Amino acid sequence: MAAQGHGAISRKAGALSGAAPAPGDKSISHRALIFGALARGTSRITGLLEGDDVLRTAAAMRALGAEVERAGGAWRVDGAPWRAPDQALYFANSGTGARLVMGAVAGAGVGAAFAGDASLRARPMGRVLEPLRMMGVEAKSRDGRLPVEILAGEGLTAVNCVLAKPSAQVKSAILLAALGASGETQIHEPVLCRDHTERMLAAFGVALDIKDDGEGGRIISIAGGQRLTPTDVSVPGDPSSAAFLTAAALITPGSEITITNVLVNLLRAGFYQTVREMGADITFENERTENGEPVADIRVRHSVLHGIETPAARAPSMIDEYPILAIVAANAHGETMMRGLEELRVKESDRIASVEAGLASCGVDVASGEDWLLVRGHGQAPKGGALVKTHHDHRIAMSFLTMGLASNQPVEIDDASMIATSFPEFFQIMSRLGGEIIARQ
């Protein structure tokens, strides 16, 4: 496993084979902890992602009054009335944890301060604070960024709002705040985004009314004053993490792998739809439903791929997978144009700039604009042979280590420490499948 603060290098090592699980889904893991802490009673969570981002949310739930502990192979959450924490809730690099807990704190009527690392402090929080203020929440912030302070207060008012941009984090914060508001809150979602909050709220006994708006979007209604009922949650594998294993098999000749127990929610499956359109040999097997979420095993075989254009409308279903899609595109025949990527400018790094610089240093023909990325592949392995700057972004780090497994020359990254935020066993699982990735001291 990579040592803290050190880089890593990957190189060709032959075909990948075998079966491996993806780590627990990060989005669902955050929600399971938060919802369990809001419920009065005991919830049990299996398959929780034990990465740094999720563990920060677990610590925040303890600070707010819930009992959260790992018990054997599962996690137990004993919910309780929330109280103001003794110090700021620190979320390190986790935008999901910070934004969702802002809404939950507001709905619970308690005050809390929110802090994060340098990367999180640079990311926009105003998109969450604005609708919360419409509901009557008093919040202080530094130009719409961390640090943020939510002041204790009661008497939130239900609102009707339209999501200006598709954001599951904003939608979720509003839904959680709405639990403490008087009246019925309506959210109009013109462009569909992740629906894990709606699915899990229902599993915890909260009633929602969800209707099509007749134009491809949805209107979600939720009445205030509802209590969550404790429930057990089985967290499926993260499709965003599974995308790295999928890509590695697609671009490494002779490979065939199976990734077990992966979430295949259509609102998260844009990457798999896209690589299939590029010619990928991917099948979903043993499809089933767990906790209201669709799950499957994913079988992947090395494939001859061709470039395509990905529509902007698909971006919400694969926003985290564009860096690894760019790696796949670098191994394909022809141009791959990715549109609708403006959200990538405000992730853990400016991911468009990070991907473009990394690909160019590895000999790939690449261009970009404010909201698009173009990769020109030649149907063969890229040169590689570069040291790529990750800008402390876990998805950039894993994308270029995946690239090195098929490149003509090894690919090195400057920092692998942050990979643990979302995929703690990345090195071990890649090694189990036959990949060669070595930590650098």
Q: How far apart are CA 7 and CA 317, in angstroms?
A: 30
Contact 407, 395 (CB under 8 A): no
Q: How far apart are CA 402 and CA 430, in angstroms?
A: 9
Partnered with residue 376 across adjacent β-strands are: 335, 365
Write the CA distances from 203 to 31, 32, 36, 176, 315, integer angstroms: 12, 10, 11, 14, 27
Half-sphere exposure of 139 (CA within 13 A, CB side): 33
Q: What are the structure tokens assigned to 269, written together? A: 């499956």
Catalytic sites, residue numbers: 320
Contact 104, 38 (CB under 8 A): yes
Q: How far apart are CA 370 and CA 389, in angstroms?
A: 20
Half-sphere exposure of 23 (CA within 13 A, CB side): 24
Write the CA distances from 110 to 139, 149, 152, 366, integer angstroms: 12, 11, 4, 48
